[in-house]
Structure 1
Amino acid sequence: MVKSPVPVFLFITAEAVALLANSAFLVVFPWLVLSHTGDAGKTSLMTALVTIPTAVATLLGGRVIDRIGRKPSSVLAGLGCAVAAAGFGVVSGLGALNIGTLIALGMLAQAFLPPSTTARDALMDAIASVGGISLERLAGIRQVVFSLTYAIGPALAGLLLTAISPIAAFWIIAGAWTFAALLTTGLPSGTSRKVSEAAITPSGSVWKLLRSRRAVWMAVVIGFGASVITQPITSVLLPAHFRDLHQPQLYGVSVSAFGVGAILGALLYAAVGAKAGVKLYVGGVLVTTAGIVAFALLPSFWILALGLALGGLGSGLLAPMLLVAVTRNTADNERGQALGVYNAASLGASPIGLGLLSLLLQRHPDLHAGAFAVLGVWALAAVYALTRPSVIVSTPGQQQAADTAAV
């Protein structure tokens, strides 16, 4: 097979465009709802309602990906997102924009977003092979793109809303999702792996798969542990902490410190991930833990910012490493389902973490209680992550032998 960098370029470009559109949607949708209703309470409720299809779509989307192929799934899901975004403009033009249509179109977009993400994740192994680079390097590059787009995407969307209406912004988002889908169609046909109906893991047996594949199960648990604390830190504890200090300007700087750390971690993994092995994995867990310990103390700004930067560095290392572990330790006909469960666990973790933190702070309003609760949750995940570090970084052959021996 002739190796070419073109598929890697197309894949990364499509990923960047789609992720920018995703992050812009998360800003423009609540802005449109607030502009339409004028009620912050309704905006919060409607924004929460439209996320309901996310977990279900992520789980079911993996099965669809395994059935019809990764590239077609990515293209169709991307076009589905584009149709939903364009729907806001169409409905507005017809004078039918109301609470019902806002919720319906928001849910439609959220139903297509997770499968599009999972399908691109499932494409990575084939893209790396065709492009002549290691899966670790491609995963690291993808994580850099992810961190950058979610850092600048909301800011770009905010600037966009100062110049044009939310409806006009949705037309641009629809165009971006369409462009990402068109880029994906340019990927080599070998990256679309359709499997027979008989070969697809039956519904429900994916849980048996997770129990029998240690690397996949560990990745799901660790990914959940990392995701369940991130949103409570960045969306609740940090803003409340700086509000109490009457220094709201430092909130954005501290979040940026986490983002910079995540980018550096992903760059490091892209550079040495294939060689460093267990040492890099253990280092990622320990650096993340050190960062969360520093955060939990709620110290002076510079120590807090350093802690968040360390947490971001560890996150940038671990996120692509876990994705590689799931990819490397699943067969073609089950990878979509496995990645669907992995992504569903990460997506579902945020509202769970926010809900539990809300209950805790209602009983114990002191922010230190919430900060130490976050530390406790991560400590459990970190201890589990360090029990068998070789499981995450083992080769497929090594892990298959271990899984077979354990059955």
Structure 2
Amino acid sequence: MTAVLTERRTVRRSVRGLVGVLAANASAWSATRLMSIALPWFVLSATGSATSTGIVAFAQTAPYVVVQLLAGPLIDRVGPRRVSIVCDLIATAALATVPLLYLLDTLPLWALAVLVAVAGAADGPSNVAKAVFVPTVAKQARVPLERVAGLTGAIERTATIIGPAIAGVVIAYFGGVHALWMAAALLAVGALIVGVTLPDPPAERELGESYLKRFREGARFLRDEGLLRSITGMTAMTNMLDQAFMAVLLPVWAKQAGHGPETIGLVVSVFAATSIVASLAAAAIGDRLPRRAVYLIGITVGGVPRFAALALGLPLPAVLAVFALGGLGSGFVNPIIGAVIYERVPAGLLGRVKTLTSAVGWSGIPFGGLLGGGVIALAGLSGAMWIVGGVYLLAIVLPGLHDEWTR
């Protein structure tokens, strides 16, 4: 009887860690997605200036990328739990200060930019720190890495839908300033969840090593791992092309085809909804599927046909069908890639490698809009779709040429 009770307690403890990771990520991602709508609307409503809105957006995203890139050695040295909690609380304080100063009528633009820069700088390391828990909680819960990665992917995609929806309702009924209160509260909840449910994963930490030495170790590991290096390069390229598609190509298509912004929202929502279904399917059966084949099929179906559908001028029902199919393919990709990364990176290097891969993956996004506009200017909308789609296909095939998808 004692052995049975002990086993049950062990299972309960391990499941608690998994639930903690999922809940903390849900809270943090919902806050981030909510803020992505609430903050620009708040700035635009308060200032009436698109330029000011752009300045504040840059002030938030630039520190996110830079600090995330540099935070890896710190995460591996002091542990993801402390980094996640402290960074979430810093972001909470910064975001909560914005509406407070605004209500007191003491919020100049420079102060707003500084506060959102602090929030962005804290958000990057916090997101990666939560990801570092994944291998440990998967092992404790006795579930495959693909399952945990699939569940986190489904939660992230769900937050992408729910966060903006919550922001829209709150902004409509209470104003943008109150949506920022809600984002701050969600980040605080995320910090509380991590503090209550997640101890630091066991890892060897060489406290005597310098920051630069630890940073170089992470960069050297990524450089020497051919598959991870290829995946990271692919992510940077496809993120830039996705941004070109979302920021320029898709809106131009909608306008030229006689559609409005509601059509853009419908197309994106269909893609996101089916990708959630696919992420849940990947969580259930992903560990039993051949990784390389799933990656190649999923990312090809998820990334390429949409360019062809819009280039060919297909009617809206056909476009929606293509995007629905694309979401199904896309939803299988991140769980597979996540499992590969978690499996191949030693626990003591995971923070450094994850911050590097994430920062490099984000590096092309600021240039996506410029690329989309430039290609349309040179080749027109249809030509731009074929060109960007062709480059996309080339970028996603290269990682599939590696043999070491499974260890």
Amino acid at match of 1:211: R
Offset of 1:193 from its aligned partner? Answer: 4.3
Show the counterpart of 1:399. none
Distance, in Å, in 1 between the alignment partners of 2:76 and 2:313 is 45
Show the counterpart of 2:298. 284
**2:31 aligned with 1:21:** yes
Offset of 1:52 from its aligned partner? Answer: 1.5
Matches within 5 A, 1:2-401: 2-4=10-12, 5-191=15-201, 193=203, 195-198=205-208, 202-248=214-260, 249-278=262-291, 279-292=293-306, 293-364=308-379, 366-388=380-402, 390-391=403-404, 393-395=405-407
Offset of 1:260 from its aligned partner? Answer: 1.9
Distance, in Å, in 1 between the alignment partners of 2:56 and 2:103 is 22
Contact 1:296-1:375 at 8 Å conserved across structures: no
Offset of 1:194 from its aligned partner? Answer: 6.6
Distance, in Å, in 2 between the alignment partners of 1:317 and 1:394 is 16
Offset of 1:315 from its aligned partner? Answer: 2.1
Distance, in Å, in 1 between the alignment partners of 2:132 and 2:295 is 22
- DSSP-derived class of the 1:72 partner: helix
* CA distance 1:118–1:35, change in 2 (3 Å): same
Contact 1:148-1:263 at 8 Å conserved across structures: yes
Q: Give CA-to-partner distance per residue, 1:200-235, whole Å, 9 cap, x none.
A: 753334332112112321221222233222222223
Contact 1:70-1:192 at 8 Å conserved across structures: no
Gaps (5+ residues) in structure 1?
Answer: 396-407
Ranges of 4+ aligned residues in structure 1 off by more than 4 Å: 198-201
Distance, in Å, in 1 between the alignment partners of 2:264 and 2:183 is 28
Offset of 1:188 from its aligned partner? Answer: 4.0
Distance, in Å, in 2 between the alignment partners of 1:80 and 1:239 is 36
Contact 1:291-1:309 at 8 Å conserved across structures: no
Distance, in Å, in 2 between the alignment partners of 1:320 and 1:198 is 35
* CA distance 1:27–1:289, change in 2 (3 Å): closer
* CA distance 1:45–1:210, change in 2 (3 Å): same
* CA distance 1:193–1:236, change in 2 (3 Å): same
- DSSP-derived class of the 1:3 partner: helix
Show the counterpart of 2:3. none
* CA distance 1:225–1:264, change in 2 (3 Å): farther
Amino acid at match of 2:270: A
- RMSD over aligned Cα, in angstroms? 2.1
Offset of 1:256 from its aligned partner? Answer: 1.3
Amino acid at match of 2:301: V
Offset of 1:187 from its aligned partner? Answer: 2.2
Distance, in Å, in 2 between the alignment partners of 1:225 and 1:246 is 30
* CA distance 1:380–1:194, change in 2 (3 Å): same
Distance, in Å, in 1 between the alignment partners of 2:365 and 2:327 is 17
Gaps (5+ residues) in structure 2?
Answer: 1-6
Q: Give CA-to-partner distance per residue, 1:154-204, whole Å, 9 cap, x none.
A: 111011011213222222211110011100112242536472234675333
Amino acid at match of 2:19: F
* CA distance 1:196–1:204, change in 2 (3 Å): closer
* CA distance 1:72–1:109, change in 2 (3 Å): same
- DSSP-derived class of the 1:184 partner: helix
Contact 1:220-1:342 at 8 Å conserved across structures: yes
Offset of 1:94 from its aligned partner? Answer: 4.1
Amino acid at match of 2:339: V
Scaled by the length of structure 2, what TM-score is found? Answer: 0.90
Distance, in Å, in 1 between the alignment partners of 2:134 and 2:347 is 12
Contact 2:93-2:184 at 8 Å conserved across structures: yes
Offset of 1:247 from its aligned partner? Answer: 1.7
* CA distance 1:99–1:289, change in 2 (3 Å): closer
Contact 1:68-1:194 at 8 Å conserved across structures: no
Contact 1:295-1:308 at 8 Å conserved across structures: no
Amino acid at match of 2:78: I
Contact 1:223-1:319 at 8 Å conserved across structures: no
Contact 1:294-1:304 at 8 Å conserved across structures: yes
* CA distance 1:53–1:17, change in 2 (3 Å): same
* CA distance 1:354–1:131, change in 2 (3 Å): same
* CA distance 1:107–1:232, change in 2 (3 Å): same
Contact 1:285-1:385 at 8 Å conserved across structures: no
Contact 1:10-1:184 at 8 Å conserved across structures: yes
Offset of 1:288 from its aligned partner? Answer: 2.7
